[in-house]
Amino acid sequence: MTRPTLIGAPVDSGQRTAGCLMGPAAYRVAGLAEVLDALGTPALDRGDLALPAALPACTPHNPAVDQLPATLAWTDLIRTAVEAELAADRLPIVLGGDHALALGSVAGAAAHAARVGRPLFLLWLDAHSDFHTVQSTSSGNLHGTPVAYAAGRAGFAPFPPFPAPVPADHICLFGIRSVDPAEHRALEACEIAVNDMRVLDEQGISAPLRRFLDKVSVAGGMLHVSLDVDFLDPGIAPAVGTTVPGGATFREAHLVCEMIHETGLMTSLDLVELNPYLDERGRTARLMVDLVGSLMGRKVFDRPTRSFT
């Protein structure tokens, strides 16, 4: 198995609820490295990335956009870090930080995939579609834009052009239950697979996920997985600023992660939107670490009894 690398990305510029910058530390305190060690896949921890003293000078055309210079700088830093780990034949795990970090992590994965001549696929485990552009967002929160950036949508100046945009049929939105009208219209015009909670309630978790993973396997693709805390139901994962009721249960989330592991397809991973300030005695951080254990090979019968209350 490819050895993982932990990359702390304390991004707090993609939204306005302070606290996500503490996410990388919370994952470490919750025992992420120890879980990976126990699975025989010890991680190399690169520490946390840090913004440069001087941020890019830019003024967005959309006056609603918030903290654009910082997000541009984070995008460049994270893209470079993810590219470097993939080039070294390692599995980068980006510890966030809000979901704006995926503007950089998916770009790094796409640049590497294009360089080695393999298709990139994107599995977006999230309550939101994140399909706004810099121009279309009305909230101005750039954590709602990474999927659109990865898909090559127009309207992202002054971000650099996305390297090798991910084809729409290589993107799977999974667990979606909050989509703005502008995003809905844009998604209807493309072939992105939108597996919202209605689809998952009717078909179950495994069938739509298996269809997408089979497509990745047949294509010999690389798989970037982006796991947002709000993919989970807030009843089990309260530490997120964008809670949406009706998310994945404990069992459903572990099934998703175990299925991904069994394919051996995952080549890079984001863990995003963990806000320890909103957590209950580390409950959400521990659950996310437990899910990484499933992504890296731990089975239900290997898991010790543990309370998340």
Q: Which residues are catalytic?
A: 99, 126, 128, 130, 143, 228, 230, 273
Distances from the Cα of 97 to the Cαs of 70, 102, 167, 206, in angstroms?
13, 10, 26, 29
Q: Which of 125, 117, 164, 148 is nearest to 266 (CA)?
A: 125
Helix or strand (DSSP H, E) at 97: none
* Helix and strand numbers, DSSP H then E, in the chain: 10, 8
Residue with tokens 């005695």: 281
- Pull the structure tokens for residue 92: 């980068």
Q: Rounded to an integer, what distance in angstroms lies between the CA atom of residue 261 and that of residue 263?
A: 5
State whether residue 275 is helix, strand or coil. Answer: coil
DSSP letter, residue 230: G
Distances from the Cα of 172 to the Cαs of 89, 147, 166, 189, 243, in angstroms?
25, 10, 11, 15, 21
- Pull the structure tokens for residue 157: 């100046």
